[in-house]
Structure 1
């Protein structure tokens, strides 16, 4: 950014850049905004977060290499890597942010995080290798319940893997990709999902366990027997096959009779435990082998057999034989068949299995089983109990049951033992409380319960909220090797259990149906998309209106608008890489809820995380023009509702919303459908992406890149200035191919399979544009003139034909898009605007892409390149930026091209710039509409652009602008009237008019003033707040005296926390406005995160102890709804503290003397609502407009600019689009 020469010294001292590599700052010529955007948002990092790229050329090489990798041959890949590098060099083309951040990123931002084949997943079928898990299986989640697998993903992986070893769980180490997340608690007690690569030996990973119980009371023996069985009057089953005797007489041989109904109770559990420990099968008998000195055990087995099956067992003592063993025999072929079927045919000692349902049997039954198993095969001592079996799968089942019964035990492998040829596993219980529980169950005392509890001096596990977390023993990197890896998408809980450790699953969406199920399906799909960095557009016109009948306990529907808040909250909650999701919600103008839709965001606390637009029809616009009636109508198989309104009444509300709230936007839907190139073969558009520049089909995706037009001007700022068509055409052709390659490169990385299918079916891309405002200036054209509009019309006409011609070339080389239908596609209106020779080539060879052109809000990309955004003019020649130092001083920054011109031509004052340096605020809105309409003729998608209006613009003038846009063929329009929302960036003139000082150079301080903090009174009153921080739980005491908040005490094991409290108290007693204290403390941030829930349920993200103190102080002043992590708590926009806190009302002005003995304030501050969070209230939305925080940057706290249809920050480069 350009900086006034006289401001250079002040800028250097007030804008520290400690986090930027010098090489990065040097590349951008000291422009720290552009340098920060590159370094913070797009520079490649390794898996540890270390920055690997310090300059854009390194990024360009990475992107070029990755996107050329999908070419067919090595020669092609090498050729296109160099061509793509040329295209990206010097920001000739600015790819979409996800491409810049994601291409070649070792974190694989949009790739699935996966496990290799063989990873054991705990399902209702037991442990199943992940490659054999199927959609429809149910897996154990972090909520200890089973949920449905909706999708199984697989891909080839060559990345290094992570090998995770956990204390107690000494089975095979867990192997996964580095970014796969596990539920873990750190040393400070913070619980969250942690990437495998970030786990350390200070973490404890959550152990999954089953808590659900199958309500199974009995088994039917006949269900387990093949062939016919007979049943007697006592409900016993038997067989009676015929036989032929020696004298040829025919007889019947009856089997022993077995009880048909087998109760699933403690007796059955204990009998099954003895069988797993000691049992075996012959062809006609079930037997148990016990030691001769265990006669009571043999007798118990025989008694259980009688009670459970109604069969008498024979005890063979083998007296007089040298053997140490005796046997219990149960002679019954039916029982043999039952046991074999129950165990799925696996009844040998080395392959026995429990039925999967038994892992969820009643806990008393499992206690009996475990007691018998350990009694029969365990090593039982007073202080420890162990169990060894040469049968690892059975050991895993037993261990799973022990966890369910809340027994902490270790599991480990054992080598080949002298008495077995099979490798086995040990289970060891060494904690006395769990040993005692097992002793009770062995003795048949099943009422004894075990609970997870921490034990003194045992640091190998933790217990939080009754659940077990086991210590990480090692995290190791495994060598990279090509292999197939898998991941699961799990319904509701989005997690699954792999080897007893709890892991997270992988990740325009339509609301498919007017039903509650479809609405919540939308939320799940949107959340998956947001989690991988995507945005979502949806239309709610298919949802029944308010008052329509419903088929549930409610009398009528709450309406489509009532679900917008759910959609918005989903968007605000789910994010990726520090970026929240983006959402566009649209509704048809004929929907009965359209008035509610228009008004919903006038309550500034509602639908905060969505853009909203009304899909306006030609029919409605004509009705408004004629002052006629308009019909609102909704009908489906469930409901029908119709009413007639005056069209201008609805129009008035639309204009009121646009003028005073900047929403909703208007999308001229008939115009979009009329000029859409994809209205066939299931590609018809239903809504738009979040910024409305791409109309999309269901599950359609955006693939965007922006040609920087300002880079293609020869002899700039001279009378010979002209477009460099040779290089611009090359950039357009290369850019078309690059974005087409993105579709193939990204094919396996979409959050939803439907998105992959839609992207490849239509191969929709968006060759976009930015820097038009700068280009016109370089050519000496004033933006708001007919000359500039005529030039731009010709410019985009030629651009359109070049891009379409290149799509034909790609179709010849790589094939047409799969859904292409020549007869239908060529009937589209847009194609008729192409040059005849291009149209003939399309007829002959087809197209590679269904649609190709757009104008998106470029946001951070434009800030990175240092050019105007999209097709916008310069927003302002200069603007005020606040320094990041504690001084918070403001200084002037020039738009890059302005600064370049002033330096090159030695212009000292912006007032002396040529007249073609015109800003968005200086031109008539009609000229903005003319420019947008001229470009729209040559764009097959749509344009995201904002018409900036003066503060005194009337509703009639807004209406005239909308009608002009409709008449001239625009597909949508957004207006932004100055001050219609608080938080707009101050221009230099606005700052001056409001008394904000813009320093040219630091002046000498005339008088040094000192402030004496008021003494601490003997008695204070206050509140104590417990706050969760990354360093553990702290307690913050906020006290007040008769003059207001006077001190903050911090109780924490972290000694530095006391220093934060002492300095905050000193500032408060020194007369510093507590809002200033809150802001400065909240600026202290780290990369660690904890989440704190207030008494009212408001959850806030806390990264440092200083932020925790700011949060506690804010809650003391504003109540429990105070939420500074959503909107940065700037002192100059925080409201006056609420009435119930007796806070001194201080007036702050430069050089003002502080009153040493302040006068107490009694009563209510006028005009302040009784309950406010951080800019949120409970009253009328209009009343709270002055408290709205929508214009505050969540990254740096500076003001946002509404430009090119999107809010972005000119201080740090943050963009909402």
Structure 2
């Protein structure tokens, strides 16, 4: 018709809506991955397409960055924008400006990630079938069109044994499991049913499998090796090199029994001696959020998200869960107590608890105890011995800067990673919080709605509004507002009901750990039909009056937003299914309490 296409982002919104309607297994949404080349004319729109945290929530997005672009960034020069239809140049941008925009947006809310696409294609086993343009939703499995994932993970924590001189790795047991796993994954290809004949043909033509690991952090705990150490990096390379070698030997053995993959003659292996494989690729480090919960081990190659936490079970019973390796050491060393485990569950780390021996604190580190550099170096260590890619999240503290994110991206490229995903704590502003704040004064507040103690102290303030006298009662817990009860004078049932509803919702937010400043910014400035003057100025409405009470009591020394916020902005993250603390790891949002994951 001569019309102009509206661009990739507009079609992403259509797919996002469709995904929202099609639930996986009747309960969970699906997940999409959108990757756009850095030289696409719409790259700037794509980089900022998830700036509003309420849009494209069923998509992970990454930018496919080329080596030429990274070189242009280094030299601070322009690079070409290419029309994907005809391959012609249609414009140019300054590489460093685009890279800075990408990094800043990732700092704001974790999206987009980066895929080093040339590095991915350098390891493409079947280039005659086409170039790889995208990956699965968590980024660890580069795929050609119509290919599918076939992934499995070995629990490394099961392969540590005592030999009299201390804990060591059971290499023979690990080898046996690797060989069984490769055979199992290859069998899975033949028994699986695929929705399209084209998918069936491509999957069986290349027979890609991805054998990976989980429980790596638990293995390090057992070996008494700190995650953030050179020894841990050496162990990562040693273990993954062993798995890589044995899995390829197992695939060669299968090729002798069953024949190589159908597209072998179109692969990079056809002219290589001793490289007749059953599978085009064999190893992948995939997310194991749900698998690791079932197996009772740490996720993938990620550090543990917490050593101790409280899990809600049926009938609202609370079950304290402690990492078994930490619990064993705590009991052996004589510092275990339920009270201490409760403290650790609130803090999320043991690094500041001096009653725990220093050598134990050094070994039992968790995700946010580890600097971003160690996250990247660990990913690179596993990538050296992995056919496909590694799913890993680089966790950053809330106060990390844009410059910190830039260092992560640069280091990932320098060390040979195929991509990188970062998550800055608390940067997903449209969701409720994980730990309300990791400062000492707020360590008692968790993500989930806090139960009300039997007795609380508080205060009541009278405010004159255009609807009558408003009585605002605020109860406090540990010096912070915990609940708000609002009642209005003779104003009719509708106004009374709305006032009560506002109080209940504010209470829910406070009990969920939302900062009082955020609540004040949301309520202050909301206009009503009957504003009235008071000695402190104009009271616009009932919510505005409640905000003034909270502000006067708790924000005396802080400047709040005078106009009130217009967009919803809460701290941190909770699971949308169970309301518990959610963590970002392996390139994905994962709940260790109920098994929810955003990517599968």
Q: Where on the TM-score scale, by shorter chain, does this alignment land: which range?
A: 0.7 to 0.9
Deviation at residue 752 of structure 1 after TM alignment: 2.2
Q: Distance in 2 between matches of 1:867 and 1:632?
A: 46
Deviation at residue 760 of structure 1 after TM alignment: 1.0
Q: Distance in 2 between matches of 1:700 and 1:1042?
A: 66
Equivalent in the alignment of 1:645: 93
Q: Does the C-alpha gap of structure 1 residues 921 and 1044 become closer, same or farther in structure 2, counting only changes over 3 Å?
A: farther
Question: Do structure 1's residue 1073 and structure 2's residue 517 form an aligned pair?
Answer: no
Deviation at residue 623 of structure 1 after TM alignment: 0.8
Question: Do structure 1's residue 700 and structure 2's residue 147 form an aligned pair?
Answer: yes
Show the 5 A alignment for 1:184-223: none
Equivalent in the alignment of 1:741: 187
Question: Do structure 1's residue 576 and structure 2's residue 24 form an aligned pair?
Answer: yes
Describe the superposition over 1:371-426 as per-residue Cα deviations: whole angstroms up to 9, x where unpaired. Answer: xxxxxxxxxxxxxxxxxxxxxxxxxxxxxxxxxxxxxxxxxxxxxxxxxxxxxxxx
Show the 5 A alignment for 1:58-77: none
Q: Distance in 2 between matches of 1:1043 and 1:870?
A: 60
Q: Does the C-alpha gap of structure 1 residues 674 and 644 become closer, same or farther in structure 2, counting only changes over 3 Å?
A: same
CA RMSD of aligned residues (A): 4.0
Q: Does the C-alpha gap of structure 1 residues 957 and 1071 become closer, same or farther in structure 2, counting only changes over 3 Å?
A: closer
Question: Do structure 1's residue 924 and structure 2's residue 371 form an aligned pair?
Answer: yes
Equivalent in the alignment of 1:797: 241
Equivalent in the alignment of 1:664: 112
Which secondary structure state, in structure 2, belongs to the residue aligned with residue 631 of structure 1?
Answer: strand
Q: Is the 8 A contact 2:41 2:81 kept in 1?
A: yes
Show the 5 A alignment for 1:360-439: none
User: Please, which of 560, 575, 581 is the counterpart of residue 8 of structure 2?
Assistant: 560
Q: Is the 8 A contact 1:1075 1:1131 kept in 2?
A: no
Q: Is the 8 A contact 1:592 1:634 kept in 2?
A: yes
Which secondary structure state, in structure 2, belongs to the residue aligned with residue 825 of structure 1?
Answer: coil
Q: Is the 8 A contact 1:866 1:896 kept in 2?
A: no
With the length of structure 2 as denominator, give the TM-score of the two structures.
Answer: 0.78
Q: Does the C-alpha gap of structure 1 residues 992 and 878 become closer, same or farther in structure 2, counting only changes over 3 Å?
A: farther
Question: Do structure 1's residue 787 and structure 2's residue 231 form an aligned pair?
Answer: yes
Q: Does the C-alpha gap of structure 1 residues 1213 and 900 become closer, same or farther in structure 2, counting only changes over 3 Å?
A: farther
Q: Does the C-alpha gap of structure 1 residues 953 and 551 become closer, same or farther in structure 2, counting only changes over 3 Å?
A: same
Deviation at residue 1076 of structure 1 after TM alignment: 5.5
Structure 2 unmatched ranges of 5 or more? 341-349, 461-466, 469-486, 529-540, 550-560
Q: Distance in 2 between matches of 1:596 and 1:758?
A: 33
Q: Distance in 2 between matches of 1:607 and 1:660?
A: 16
Equivalent in the alignment of 2:283: 853
Deviation at residue 1143 of structure 1 after TM alignment: 4.3
Equivalent in the alignment of 1:1203: 585
Q: Is the 8 A contact 1:856 1:870 kept in 2?
A: yes
Deviation at residue 592 of structure 1 after TM alignment: 1.2
Equivalent in the alignment of 2:220: 776
Equivalent in the alignment of 2:57: 608
Q: Distance in 1 between matches of 2:513 and 2:372?
A: 34
Q: Does the C-alpha gap of structure 1 residues 1007 and 697 become closer, same or farther in structure 2, counting only changes over 3 Å?
A: closer
Q: Does the C-alpha gap of structure 1 residues 883 and 1070 become closer, same or farther in structure 2, counting only changes over 3 Å?
A: farther
Describe the superposition over 1:347-373 as per-residue Cα deviations: whole angstroms up to 9, x where unpaired. Answer: xxxxxxxxxxxxxxxxxxxxxxxxxxx
Describe the superposition over 1:16-74 as per-residue Cα deviations: whole angstroms up to 9, x where unpaired. Answer: xxxxxxxxxxxxxxxxxxxxxxxxxxxxxxxxxxxxxxxxxxxxxxxxxxxxxxxxxxx
Equivalent in the alignment of 1:481: none
Q: Is the 8 A contact 1:684 1:696 kept in 2?
A: no
Equivalent in the alignment of 1:894: 322
Q: Does the C-alpha gap of structure 1 residues 780 and 1147 become closer, same or farther in structure 2, counting only changes over 3 Å?
A: same
Deviation at residue 739 of structure 1 after TM alignment: 0.9
Deviation at residue 1041 of structure 1 after TM alignment: 6.7
Q: Does the C-alpha gap of structure 1 residues 926 and 907 become closer, same or farther in structure 2, counting only changes over 3 Å?
A: same
Q: Distance in 2 between matches of 1:1140 and 1:896?
A: 54
Q: Distance in 1 between matches of 2:490 and 2:137?
A: 48
Structure 1 unmatched ranges of 5 or more? 1-549, 828-838, 1012-1017, 1020-1039, 1049-1063, 1081-1127, 1150-1163, 1170-1176, 1178-1183
Q: Does the C-alpha gap of structure 1 residues 598 and 978 become closer, same or farther in structure 2, counting only changes over 3 Å?
A: same
Equivalent in the alignment of 1:551: 2
Equivalent in the alignment of 1:978: 425
Q: Distance in 1 between matches of 2:437 and 2:577?
A: 26
Equivalent in the alignment of 1:1168: 565
Deviation at residue 738 of structure 1 after TM alignment: 0.9
With the length of structure 1 as denominator, give the TM-score of the two structures.
Answer: 0.40
Larger radius of gyration: 1
Describe the superposition over 1:502-544 as per-residue Cα deviations: whole angstroms up to 9, x where unpaired. Answer: xxxxxxxxxxxxxxxxxxxxxxxxxxxxxxxxxxxxxxxxxxx
Describe the superposition over 1:694-745 as per-residue Cα deviations: whole angstroms up to 9, x where unpaired. Answer: 00011110111110111110129x8521111111111111111111111111
Q: Does the C-alpha gap of structure 1 residues 840 and 979 become closer, same or farther in structure 2, counting only changes over 3 Å?
A: same
Q: Does the C-alpha gap of structure 1 residues 723 and 1045 become closer, same or farther in structure 2, counting only changes over 3 Å?
A: farther
Deviation at residue 591 of structure 1 after TM alignment: 0.7
The structure in which a higher percent of residues are helix is: 2
Which secondary structure state, in structure 2, belongs to the residue aligned with residue 939 of structure 1?
Answer: coil
Show the 5 A alignment for 1:613-762: 613-636=62-85, 642-680=90-128, 682=129, 684-715=131-162, 720-746=166-192, 749-762=193-206
Q: Distance in 2 between matches of 1:719 and 1:674?
A: 43
Q: How many residues align?
A: 526
Question: Do structure 1's residue 1212 and structure 2's residue 594 form an aligned pair?
Answer: yes
Show the 5 A alignment for 1:116-155: none
Equivalent in the alignment of 1:993: 441
User: Please, which of 929, 933, 937 is the counterpart of residue 384 of structure 2?
Assistant: 937
Equivalent in the alignment of 1:368: none
Deviation at residue 776 of structure 1 after TM alignment: 1.2
Q: Is the 8 A contact 1:1044 1:1143 kept in 2?
A: no
Deviation at residue 614 of structure 1 after TM alignment: 0.3
Which secondary structure state, in structure 2, belongs to the residue aligned with residue 821 of structure 1?
Answer: helix
Q: Distance in 1 between matches of 2:416 and 2:505?
A: 53
Equivalent in the alignment of 2:307: 877
Q: Distance in 2 between matches of 1:1043 and 1:727?
A: 76
Which secondary structure state, in structure 1, belongs to the residue aligned with residue 576 of structure 2?
Answer: coil
Looking at both structures, which has the greater relative contact order when contacts are Cα pairs under 8 Å and sequence separation is at least 6? 2
Which secondary structure state, in structure 2, belongs to the residue aligned with residue 642 of structure 1?
Answer: strand
User: Please, which of 265, 288, 293 is the counterpart of residue 863 of structure 1?
Assistant: 293
Q: Distance in 2 between matches of 1:872 and 1:1004?
A: 36
Q: Distance in 2 between matches of 1:1216 and 1:1045?
A: 45
Q: Is the 8 A contact 2:433 2:574 kept in 1?
A: no
Q: Distance in 2 between matches of 1:934 and 1:928?
A: 10
Q: Is the 8 A contact 1:985 1:1201 kept in 2?
A: no
Equivalent in the alignment of 2:526: 1139
